[in-house]
Homo-oligomer: A and B are copies of this chain.
Amino acid sequence: MLGKSQAKYIQSLGQKKFRDEEGMFIAEGPKIIEELIASSSHHIHQLYALPEWIEAQSSIDQNINVVEIEEKDLEKISQLNTPNKVLAIVKKFEAPATFETKGAISLVLDTIQDPGNLGTIIRIADWFGVEQIICSADCADMYNPKVVQSTMGSIARVKVLYTDLVNWVSRQKDIRIYAAALEGRDVTTMDKITEGLIIIGNESKGISPALFELANVKIHIPQKGKAESLNAAVATGIILSHLV
């Protein structure tokens, strides 16, 4: 059973303001929930699930509070067009104060505003073993339900820091700073790297000039056809596949 005030509380977590106040976010669907249970079960505050999902679990961590609900209740609280069996209220991960960039590859995202793109980039980072992402304050919120969905569980494994990028990047010393651009070195012919910051910019506006100036290696993906640009997440995937 789902009470009215519970439903209202869950719905409110669709908004950043309430997520920030509560320190909670929503995740949905068997795939991501099962990944969260496996990797960060202590972060799961509450699970709301259809009987069929509960029955299909061989066991669920005793510490997780599971509420059995009906399809029509799930429809009420789900942020998805097609609700998918299970929804969790999850405690936000601890925001890192900063990152150790030495010996690591870090992604720097300047104004990635589309939630689907941000989620997909988090998933790409996780695929290529990039464990830290630094976002400008005006990137989409990593706990936006659409971001969470598109990470497909990778949100639990990649650390994300929101900060002023120009300030933060200019404090990183003795490290190579790569900027994805429309010109510069051809990324498909470059050697692999094991350390560096890789800056990806907003799709229509690119990287802001003040940040771009801090880069010491401009890189680009060669264009062979006529499209003017690539989607920011696709570009990130291509760059990491050549450099990492």
Contact = CB atoms under 8 A, between A and B. Distances in A.
How many identical chains are in the complex? 2
Contacts of A230: 123-124, 127, 237
A223 B127 contact: yes
Nearest to A238: B241
Contacts of A153: 227-228
Interface residues of A, number: 35
Contact of A227 (B116, B152, B226): B152
A129 B224 CA distance: 5
A120 interface: yes
B241 A127 contact: no
Nearest to A122: B227
Contacts of A154: 226-227
Interface in A216-244: 221, 223-231, 233-235, 237-238, 241-242, 244
Q: Which 5 A-B pairs have the closest CB atoms?
A: A129-B225, A129-B224, A126-B227, A234-B237, A127-B227
